[in-house]
Amino acid sequence: MNKHYLAFAGNPNAGKTTLFNAITGSHQHVGNYPGITVDRKEGSTILGDSKIDIVDLPGCYSLTAYTQEELVARQVLVEERPALVVNVVDATKLERHLYLTMQFLELGVPVMLALNMMDDVRSKGIQINVKQLQKDLGCPAVGTVARTGAGKEELLRTAVEYAQQRNGEWRPLEISYGPDVDPVLERLSAMIAEADILQQKYPPRWVALKHIEGDDSIIEQGRSIDPELSEQIEAEVQILRDHCMKTLNTFPEAIIADYRYGFINALLKKSVFATQPQSARLDLTDKIDQVLTHKVAGPVLMLALLYAMFHITFTLGEYPMELTHNFFALLAGGASAIIPDGVIQSLVVSGVIDGVGGVLGFVPLIMIMFIIIAFLEDSGYMARMAYMLDKIFRSFGLHGSSVMPFIISGGIAGGCAVPGVMATRTLRSPKEKLATIITAPFMPCGAKIPVFLLLIGAFFSEHRAAVMFSITLGAWVMALLVARLLRSTLIRGESTPFVMELPPYRLPTMQGVLIHMWERTWEYIRKAGTVVLAISILLWAAMTFPGLNQEVEQTFIAQQIILEQQLDASTNQAQQEILREKIVELEHEHSLAALKNSAAGRLGQMLEPLSSLAGFNWRTNIALIGGVAAKEVIVSTLGTAYSLGETDIEVSGDLMSRMQNDKDWNHASAISAIIFVLLYAPCFVTIVVMARESSWSWAMFALIFNTTLAFGLASAAYHIVTAVA
Amino acid sequence: MHCSIRHLQLHDKARIISISAGGELGRRIRDMGLVTGTEIEIVGRAPLKDPVAIRLRGFTLTLRNNEADHITVEKLEPTP
């Protein structure tokens, strides 16, 4: 069987991924390019007796090396040498889409065009003379409609045929870039050809062109291979640059771009004809935009949509989440019944089952969330949201697209930072993305809410709504201010240009949405699953070991035996009741003693002198330490620490009254605790996802920085409120 | 009359005279098809007046006002 390796490439919104999905169907998988968060999508299909492997390169507008996507696309072409690049273009916008095609042709890699959206071409009354286009570009072109799959067989047949015909040969297209650039280009190519640098990988004229365009990646490579020649070349380029500035007041790379567009225009004049006037008519997208980006209706509809989306996710997500929760509770119950009491049981139940349950509990939420995100993205509305909100977010050093991660993380109280951080993937501006990743976990996620409800119930029960609202508002203020702070210090730098396409509205394909959803969900299960399980076991150990010493343990057991004997002996109903209560109390004291003696408990006590600055006693400390594993743990650990056993929020009345009666708790420490819980370390699942979207060092930075910030603010608040009261 | 894109009104049409942006911004602008001689039309402004949405070569793109400042255009009279 013949094997062919093709690369799909094209502008974002060209329908490239839709075509890739239509061709490969379920025969695809997603990986990662080493070191960066760009997805590497691969798939395969069979055509006659050929197996066709396809890599779906990330969408990009150009083959320079400014963005990760472009760099990756270029690397694959040069390092992996696919037999053919299938350049997917939106045939209604050939003028712009062919700009990337030109760059493939300049590089010389075997390329063919998939003229996508041919149905739109027809309905817009455009005629394309495909034969003429093929002749002028010197490569095959096939019309397709990715959404219906029309033309895909012909595309593949042509691709295989042409790949065989070219047999991997690179044939760089040489066009003129005008009287200023051409002579220098020729001179430099001759120098490069003679010195024989980079020739294994790139054609000499292309290397020269990239030097003139100021392509950092190629210049770097040149320097490392032949510093002397590089210096000569750079000097020549500088002379050209000065000359262009002086005589034409422009940059050489701008001249090169002009000539590329000139070439494209000349070519399109011969092969593309409009049979009806194009500019006069408003298409559907324009009409929709008149409403959806209207200066009043636009923002109102956007807020309504965001709220609806949020509401749908979390109400719809509640049932499957409940189900998973119950399933794992059942599993834990089963395990407790089978495995005898002791360390092993505790490890399986509290370490493994709770850990895995914690991870999988998020899965339904992530699935629903990403169906909605994929829908918004593929439909074209996401770009409009960024467009409408950019002004606000930009003033804090973020990007219009930062809104989605913030909202999902709990910008409307009750979200979850895990899918929130994962949603930053749509941000193509690295600095803005990083600032968003670090600040999104400030939002009041669903797991922080029970803690707030407990504290509000205990200390501010008369101002419930007002306090909840202030918490959400406070989170937004902090997230934006900290983003601003980071963007003017650690993540300093020019904001990434906003130059962004507003794609036409389209109804997303079911297949595209589902594939997108499944990719994200699977990635989450795979990555978070392994790491979180390990961490969960670690935290379990910290809260379990070292156990109580033999003597204390014996005393508890002895007391329990005495009480149980008394219970057995008793005949008086009232007395039995009292004894039963005493046994429960003893059990709670027992677990409190064990917790207090554990590594986490000792750490909590050790930290008390420090934490008292913010008004936290050691019991609170233990709960907060546990909260790093998952914020859900805070309330239940507080329950254990107040020797109430594990507490559910539903029956937390006892805990509330104990806290009200504890002299360590008052309004000041409650406010301080609310601030701390809102802002401190993201939970471990979030940290793992953060590391995945940025790097482990940034995730660790967030852990330390957010905790320090939270502690500073909590302490300040504690002292101010204490002084005022 | 020459002016920057920022000073155009909604639905104004214009032709690009020069682009003064270099570096990454300049490159992004060129990649999206904004080069000298291109005809553009202002098709919208965000609710907060910034960014601006322009139509060229059959598609719509957005850029911030401070980015649009680098692009000098010549306003075209509306075709009757």
- Interface pTM (ipTM) of the complex? 0.94
Shortest Cα distance, chain A CAs vs residue B64, angstroms: 6
Max avg pLDDT among A334-343, A355-364, A520-529, B12-21: B12-21
Question: pLDDT band at residue A148, thresholds of 50, 70 and 90?
Answer: very high
Q: Are strands B13-19 and A126-128 parallel, antiparallel or unpaired?
A: unpaired
Determine how many CB atoms are found less than 10 A away from the CB of residue A698.
18
Select the residue of B30, B43, B62 nearest A254 (Cβ to Cβ). B30
Cβ pair A499:B29 closer than 8 A: yes
Shortest Cα distance, chain A CAs vs residue B57, angstroms: 6
Chain A residues whose CB is inside 8 A of the B27 CB are 62, 64, 66, 253
Q: Any residues with CB less than 8 A from the CB of A354 and at least 6 apart, and which?
A: A328, A332, A536, A540
Angle at alpha carbon of residue A546, lines to A622 and A340, rounded to 5°: 100
B28 in reach of chain A (CB within 8 A): yes
* Residue A113 zone, left/alpha/beta (φ > 0; ψ -120 to 50; rest): beta
Chain A residues whose CB is inside 8 A of the B24 CB are 66, 494, 496-497
A95 in reach of chain B (CB within 8 A): yes
Shortest Cα distance, chain A CAs vs residue B70, angstroms: 12
Q: Considering only residues 4 to 23 of chain B, which have any Cβ-Cβ distance to chain A shorter than 8 Å?
A: 18-19, 22
Select the residue of B30, B53, B67 nearest A387 (Cβ to Cβ). B53
Select the residue of A93, A289, A299 nearest B59 (Cβ to Cβ). A93
Cβ pair B26:A96 closer than 8 A: no
Q: What is the pLDDT of residue A134?
A: 95
Cβ pair A392:B48 closer than 8 A: yes
Reply yes or no on whether the pLDDT at A548 is more than 50.
yes
**Which of B20, B27, B39 to mutate to probe the A interface, most A CBs <10 Å?**
B27
Please, are residues A218 and A224 in contact by the beta-carbon 8 Å criterion? no
From residue A655, alpha-carbon distances to A178, A634, A641, A651 in Å are 80, 12, 10, 8
Select the residue of B33, B50, B57 nearest A391 (Cβ to Cβ). B50
pLDDT digit string (tens) for A557-601? 888 888 888 888 888 888 888 888 888 888 888 888 888 888 888
Q: Any residues with CB less than 8 A from the CB of A561 and at least 6 apart, and which?
A: none
Q: Considering only residues 391 to 410 of chain A, which have any Cβ-Cβ distance to chain B shorter than 8 Å?
A: 391-392, 394
For residue A585, give the 3-state DSSP assignment: helix
- In chain A, where are the structural domains located? 2-166, 178-259, 282-546+598-725
Please, are residues A634 and A451 in contact by the beta-carbon 8 Å criterion? yes
Mean of per-residue pLDDT scores for chain A: 88
Q: What is the pLDDT of residue A649?
A: 47
Q: Which residue of B has its CA nearest to A63?
A: B31
Sign of dihedral through CA atoms A253, A258, A262, A264?
positive
Q: Model-level pTM?
A: 0.84
A250 in reach of chain B (CB within 8 A): yes
pLDDT digit string (tens) for A211-252? 999 998 899 988 998 899 999 999 999 999 999 999 988 899
Question: Which two structure tokens, joined as six digits, stand for B73?
Answer: 């255009």
Q: Which residue of B has its CA nearest to A95?
A: B57
Spatial CA neighbour of A92 closest among A13, A9, A20, A155: A13
Select the residue of A258, A285, A298 nearest B47 (Cβ to Cβ). A298
Q: Mention the CATH class of domain A178-259.
A: mainly alpha
Please tell me which residue, A36 or A419, carries the higher pLDDT value: A419
A301 in reach of chain B (CB within 8 A): no
CA gap A604, A606 in Å, rounded: 5
Cβ pair A502:B50 closer than 8 A: no
Spatial CA neighbour of A37 closest among A701, A698, A529, A702: A698
A498 in reach of chain B (CB within 8 A): yes
B29 in reach of chain A (CB within 8 A): yes
Topology (CATH level 3) of domain A2-166: Rossmann fold (3.40.50)
Question: Which two structure tokens, joined as six digits, stand for A105?
Answer: 């042709």
Please tell me which residue, A124 or A159, carries the higher pLDDT value: A159
Query: Which residue range forms the structural domain that includes residue B67?
Result: 2-76
Shortest Cα distance, chain A CAs vs residue B10, angstroms: 12
Q: Average the pLDDT over A659-676 and give the result.
A: 91
B46 in reach of chain A (CB within 8 A): yes
**Which of A499, A502, A505, A506 to mutate to probe the B interface, most B CBs <10 Å?**
A499
Reply yes or no on whether the pLDDT at A343 is more than 90.
no
Q: Average the pLDDT over A396-423 and give the result.
A: 87
CA gap A702, A697 in Å, rounded: 9
A497 in reach of chain B (CB within 8 A): yes
Please, are residues A12 and A96 in contact by the beta-carbon 8 Å criterion? no
Overall number of domains in chain B: 1
Cβ pair A261:B43 closer than 8 A: no
Cβ pair A293:B22 closer than 8 A: no
pLDDT digit string (tens) for A158-179? 999 999 999 989 999 999 999 9
Q: What is the pLDDT of residue A653?
A: 64
CA gap A630, A175 in Å, rounded: 60
Cβ pair A64:B53 closer than 8 A: no
Q: Which residue of B has its CA nearest to A13?
A: B59
Lowest-confidence segment of A387-396, A407-416, A644-653, B30-39 by average pLDDT: A644-653
Domain containing B7 — which CATH number?
2.30.30.90
Does the fold of domain A178-259 match that of domain A2-166? Answer: no
Select the residue of B38, B46, B61 nearest A391 (Cβ to Cβ). B46
B53 in reach of chain A (CB within 8 A): yes
Fill in the DSSP letter of residue A348.
I
CA gap A91, A594 in Å, rounded: 70
From residue A688, alpha-carbon distances to A66, A249, A534, A697, A706 in Å are 28, 50, 12, 11, 15
Please, are residues A82 and A76 in contact by the beta-carbon 8 Å criterion? yes
Chain B residues whose CB is inside 8 A of the A61 CB are 28, 31-32
Reply yes or no on whether the pLDDT at A26 is more than 50.
yes
Q: What is the pLDDT of residue A636?
A: 77
Partner residues linked to A112 by β-bridges: A86
Chain A residues whose CB is inside 8 A of the B66 CB are none
Reply yes or no on whether the pLDDT at A650 is more than 50.
no
Reply yes or no on whether the pLDDT at B22 is more than 90.
no
Chain B residues whose CB is inside 8 A of the A257 CB are 30-31, 35
**Which of A250, A498, A501 to mutate to probe the B interface, most B CBs <10 Å?**
A498
Q: What is the pLDDT of residue A645?
A: 60
Cβ pair B53:A61 closer than 8 A: no
Fill in the DSSP letter of residue A202.
S
Please, are residues A197 and A226 in contact by the beta-carbon 8 Å criterion? yes
CA gap A482, A407 in Å, rounded: 17
